[in-house]
Amino acid sequence: MRRHSAVVFVSVIAMAVVVGAQGQEFARVLRNGQQATLSAFGPRPVDLAATKLVDEFGIALNVEDPAYLYRDDIEEIGAARSGKPLFIPKASLLEMRLDLRDDGSLSDVRQVVRDLQDTANRQLPFEYKMISEYGVDMTTGQVDKNVEIFWLIPARTRDDQGRFVVVTPILDHRVTIPVGTRRVFEHVNLLTESLQQQTGVRVNCCEAAVSGTLWGSTVISFSANNEPARDVLHRLLQREPGRDRLARNEQGGAFHLVKSDPGREHWRWSMRCTPRDAWCFINVTAIPERQ
């Protein structure tokens, strides 16, 4: 009863914030001992919730937008200079419970991602599918079963008549990248160009800079032969090393340099697509160091 009351109390707070924010998006984790509530409100609550899980707990979780086809699933926010109307997905609230260990970490990462998928499928007019694979230690090249990488990808959406239809995610399409030595983002550009040729959707990637350094600037030899674009993009992200960072000393005041761990996942992505427009953007961000 105590746990149920705590969750209800958190839900009331979240709803009050939704009303008071007047459309401003947010994602937060409110903790109560070994329980917590993850709340996300905005046009893309699954993306917001996933990003919060990445930032708060350091998990490797990627999200891809569904196709927004049904008029009731989007809203007009203005017009471009050409007079063409601009749309965004309608804002929604997504809320779910988290189970935590004594140290505040997630008790079961896989279950949390599964719960996020199931919650989204119950609360939103779309259907997501979770896929996962074990990580690879970048130093040894061996599979690391202590690390799991997750994707939430669209499985169904609503067509222009409001009927549920199965969709093929953009990153399911296969791409070929000729062998060559290029910067990582140049390999990514070849990937997105192939996707545009196949689907007619313009896909851009990635964040221009991370901590002042151009993302994807590492020069590597790489190729792909008729492989799913999602797998190719993941391999390219793994080839871009993490960034060294400054950390405050335990005594406070001074900082020291912490070298990036070459054996862990450093990057994740989210792909957002513009409603009623053939354009998507893949945003790459850093996965925080695990504590």
pLDDT tens digits, 100-136: 999 999 999 999 999 999 999 999 999 999 999 876 6
Domain ranges of the chain: 1-167, 170-291
pLDDT for position 11: 36
In this structure, are residues 211 and 257 in contact, taking their beta carbons and an 8 Å threshold?
A: no
- Please name the residue ranges forming H helices in 91-242: 109-123, 184-199, 229-239
Q: Which residue stretches of the chain have pLDDT < 50?
A: 1-22, 291
The pTM is what? 0.84
Task: Indicate left, alpha or beta for 22 from its phi (over 0: left) and psi (-120 to 50: alpha).
Answer: left
Say what the pLDDT of residue 78 is: 87
Q: Which candidate, 274, 280, 88, 285, places its Cα nearest to that of 195?
A: 280
Residue range 185-231, pLDDT digits in tens: 999 999 999 999 999 999 999 866 555 678 899 999 999 999 999 99
pLDDT of residue 6: 38
Distance CA 36, CA 56 (A): 12
What's CA 142's distance to the chain center, in Å? 25
Q: DSSP character for 214?
A: E
